[in-house]
Structure 1
Amino acid sequence: MNFRLSRCRSSVPRARAVLRAKLGEWRAGHGTAEDSELVLSELVTNALRVPAPGDRLVGVRIVCRGRGKLLRLEVSDAGAGRPEVQRPSEMDAAGRGLLLVETLAHRWGVDERQAGIGKTVWAELVAPGIDPAPAEMDVAAVTVRPGQSVRVWGTWRTVHSVRSERYASGGLFVVIGLDDGPALRLHAAEPVTVRTGEAIAAGAPRDIESQEQPTAGPEVTS
């Protein structure tokens, strides 16, 4: 999953909410969810503090590498420099963010962004029991939504549009536009196989550098 956040204070709870929803779909345990939310909060907070042009968004990527393997959290920003773990004293009120990441994560690091300016700070957490594979189920065609994946002619296609129309006799049918191939024209109640637990996306993501204006909330893709 990839999404982007505007450079404002409210982006931290937004990032946590998106991660919480995704981990719920993946049936993550309470401990994994709690630790990963703390880690992502610190990574996003640090990215928002880095000096960068005001129209540069913060990119977030959430990846699970197989059942019982690793949960990887990546946060990209357009700022210079590399974050370093601080060792604050008991009297210091700040500076513990990366120390917390280092404590909770299996490992973490910093990579230069291959396209554009800035860097990606990542952390991997051990995540036993997580299953990132979306389940499949049959639903009525009228309930399909843009952004979902449907199985058509033995392959998966992404839905980009859905509209309802009526037959001359008064019955309802649905026209489902796909990312590839002809549209589907189905009776409203006809079953369609979809992948469950998928975020509904408005379009493909773009690089942080190409964003002209910050958005008010996360732009999500799966």
Structure 2
Amino acid sequence: MLRLVGIDLPVDKRIEVALTYVYGIGPKISRIILDKAKIDLNTRAKDLSAVEVSKLQKILEEFKVEGDLRKDIRENIQRLKRIGCYRGYRHSVGLLKNIKNVTDGRIYILATFNNTVVTITDLTGNVIAWSSTGKVGFKGSRKSTPFAATSAITAAVDAGKAMGLRQAAVYIKGPGPGRDAALRVLRGIGIKVTEMQDVTPIPHNGARAKKPRHG
């Protein structure tokens, strides 16, 4: 087993690849390190001598990797959140993975008696943000309250605004408390509502009648 900077590296792989198992080292940095240590890129990790391992350990100490790098990244993100910049806000709401800019979209609100689910999509149907009463921290019977529905809708809309959403068509489905909450929230969300529809399915002829008893 080859261990460098506190990390166990796979011994059956080429050392160029094995070094990338250390957080903060990619293929390019790996080649730079091996060039400094005068080690062939195609050498298997298990074939390294004790002297070569010592060289690698010494060179790796010159780079910020693993715990030190993670700490720096964490502190930088906290600083962005503290100063309230746009990138910091995206980190706060967990949107940095999918950076999109959608100005027009659709808001779908599913309001059942037990839950409220809000989905925001672009005009082609791709989901850009979503929320529910469970996602914002409500459990059990509290998920069916109007306040929980309001919180879920607000969270989803805030996430959509961070994606650049400026106007949207709203589609409401279901008889739950989220219906009235949606109307209250949508009045002051800062997004222009271009259309609002109730898409709750309505039975036209009811359920099939029960067969009469025999005898």
Using structure 2 for the length normalisation, give the TM-score.
0.23
Report which structure shows greater RCO (CA 8 Å, sep ≥6). Answer: 1
Q: Name which one, 1 or 2, has greater alpha-carbon Rg.
A: 2
Using structure 1 for the length normalisation, give the TM-score.
0.23
Higher-helix-fraction structure: 2
Higher-strand-fraction structure: 1
